[in-house]
Structure 1
Amino acid sequence: MTGYGNPAIICGGAQIRVQCRHLATVVTISGVLDEANAAQAMTETRRFVIAEKPVVLDLTAVESAPDDYLPVLESVDSACAAAGVEWLLVTSPAVAAQIRIGEDGFAVATSVPEALQWLADDVFIRRRMLLPLLHRTA
């Protein structure tokens, strides 16, 4: 554990930090994520998937190849699907090119602020769709 208030969860060579923000739970993984610690990282990451909030998984500081942590992504994907929440992956453009993106892939952002803005825009659109239903007719 390092620092005050937001201790890191140590999973072998990887560190996991979690922040609960207004729009989403941000899970940041840094260090080396490989076969040796992937199972523990999956378990720790799945703990933070809750039904009320989307998840932003930040892997920009991971020093491993995407093939090494693909099981973690699939685990988060299935946990979020089971909880009925959306999730976004934050990674570098080079890594995003190696991970499947699209209809059957993962939604990818290039930064945590971009991912949070995406979620804010989504909330705004949903609220805007509700406005016509809230007008009174008298």
Structure 2
Amino acid sequence: MGTTTHVSASKSPFRYGNPSIDCAGAEVHTLCRQLASIMSITGDVDGFNVDCLSERARHCVIPEKAFVLDLSGVTSFASQGIALLDAIDQACSDAGVEWSLVAHEPIADALRVHAEDPRLPIAESIPEALQHFSEVAFERRRLLPLLTKSA
């Protein structure tokens, strides 16, 4: 049951420098923004492609940069997809970064029910997730001078 990764030119238009990756029925688009790395998945997440998707996600997690998993384009999410969330959570924990999940309501509800941790870091949209990361960074910068003052 080996999944292969290849650049897909037929399902979406070519993006210079940012091609989509086909993971056995799910298309992956990645983007690195100032506040976070974003991995968007479209199509189906199932047992055939969860390993490929997990591997792609591990490559997108960068130390000192938050991570957003965008599932808003996912049409079906099998129970095996929970392994993807576990892999991302572990990779982000290892890198010491926050992460957020963007999913439309039916998938978000299903994830809350089936995931071991019902407190998944779910955001309504990518801008909302980026806004959260921006506020966290602002708060850290605001507190930094207080921590560096000597008593």
Q: Give the C-alpha shift of residue 93 in structure 1.
A: 2.3
Higher relative strand content: 2
In the alignment, which residue of structure 2 is the partner of 1:107? 121
Q: How does 1:68-87 map onto structure 2 within 5 Å?
A: 68-87=80-99
Unaligned runs of 5+ in 2: 1-7
**CA distance in 2 between partners of 1:99 and 1:58 (Å):** 13
**1:133 to partner: Cα distance:** 4.7
1:98 is the counterpart of 2:72: no
Q: Name the CA shift for 1:68/1:131 in 2 (closer, same or farther; >3 Å).
A: same
> Tell me, which stretches of 5 or more residues in structure 1 are unaligned?
none
Q: Are 2:23 and 1:11 aligned?
A: yes
Instruction: After TM superposition, list the pairs within 5 Å mapping 1:1-138 onto structure 2.
Output: 1-2=8-9, 3=14, 4-65=16-77, 67-100=79-112, 104=117, 105-133=119-147
Q: Which runs of 4+ in 1 moved over 4 A?
A: 133-136
Q: Percent identity?
A: 40
Deviations 1:75-131 (A, max 9, x none): 101111111111100111232222238xx4320001000000000010111111123
Question: For residues 112 and 45 of structure 1, what CA distance do their matches in structure 2 show?
Answer: 16
Give the TM-score, by structure 1 length: 0.88
AA at the equivalent of 1:51: P
* Superposition TM-score, scaled by structure 2 size: 0.81
Q: CA RMSD in A?
A: 2.0
